Amino acid sequence: MKIAAITNIGYVRAKNQDAYSVVKNSSDDVLIIVCDGIGGNKAGEVASVETIKHFERAFQQQKFSRKEQVPVFLLNEISEVNKYILDLAVTHKEYEGMGTTVTGILFTHYGDYIFNVGDSRTYGVLNGEMKQLSEDDSLVAEMVRAGEITYEESLTHPKRHYLTKAIGVWDALAGYVKEIGKMDYYLCCSDGLHGYVGEEAIAKTILSDQTLQQKTDALCGLALASGGYDNITIVLIER
């Protein structure tokens, strides 16, 4: 497995509220995680970094002995980190209103699992075709799934950034966890990439004849060339 990553503040934001991590436990399982602190709220960068730290601590202490433990672990940690971020916001006035998205992949000996809360995304590329593996927790995504608007309409909808789920915002939270098959490439990214660069351009870059880090840098360059309106975080994995 090869992994390349980059995070960039972009051209507009005063702070980089994104965070990412690539961590391995004692069983050689690998956790990839990307967080995007909710823009406009206090301490979004605290929420994203603390969510990363929480997952890292729990994962490094975890040893899976059977397949069923993997999704249970992810769902439990999403719930636990939600409570943790909520508690930080309640006990520290300067953190009031903070929250974050989270997306990632857990590679284990018992299978590979994606997880997601919010609108950061995980994609997979197999045999030259890219598809979104995660499900957005956003108003427009729900409207698309309900058949109220088309996917194309969702790309420019005025409420496309309205989240329906985020870490640290709601008392009760159910995350999205799903086992996935083997892919040639995996991409975890914040909406600073997928919100401004089309999926066709993303796929073309991933499939280009460059090193993995060059591809990652090129994706970031595309987001910056599109205006750099948001923080950009990209983790690209090749199997």
Q: Which domains does the chain have, with CATH numbers?
A: 2-238 (3.60.40.10)
DSSP 26-93: TT--EEEEEEEEPTTSTTHHHHHHHHHHHHHHHHHT----STTHHHHHHHHHHHHHHHHHHHHHHH-G
Confirm if 208 and 215 have CB atoms less than 8 A apart: yes
- State the pLDDT at residue 156: 81
Query: At residue 40, does pLDDT exceed 80?
Result: no
- CA 124 – CA 186 distance, rounded (Å): 5
- State the pLDDT at residue 120: 97
Tell me the pLDDT tens digit for each residue of 174-205. Answer: 999 999 999 999 999 999 999 999 999 999 99
Q: Region 15-30: what's the mean pLDDT? A: 96
- pLDDT band of 168, cuts 50, 70, 90: very high
Tell me the pLDDT tens digit for each residue of 93-117. Answer: 889 889 999 999 999 999 999 999 9
Output the average pLDDT for the chain. Answer: 94
- pLDDT band of 79, cuts 50, 70, 90: very high
Q: Region 67-74: what's the mean pLDDT? A: 98
Query: At residue 213, does pLDDT exceed 70?
Result: yes
Q: Region 35-60: what's the mean pLDDT? A: 90
- State the pLDDT at residue 144: 86
Query: At residue 152, does pLDDT exceed 60?
Result: yes
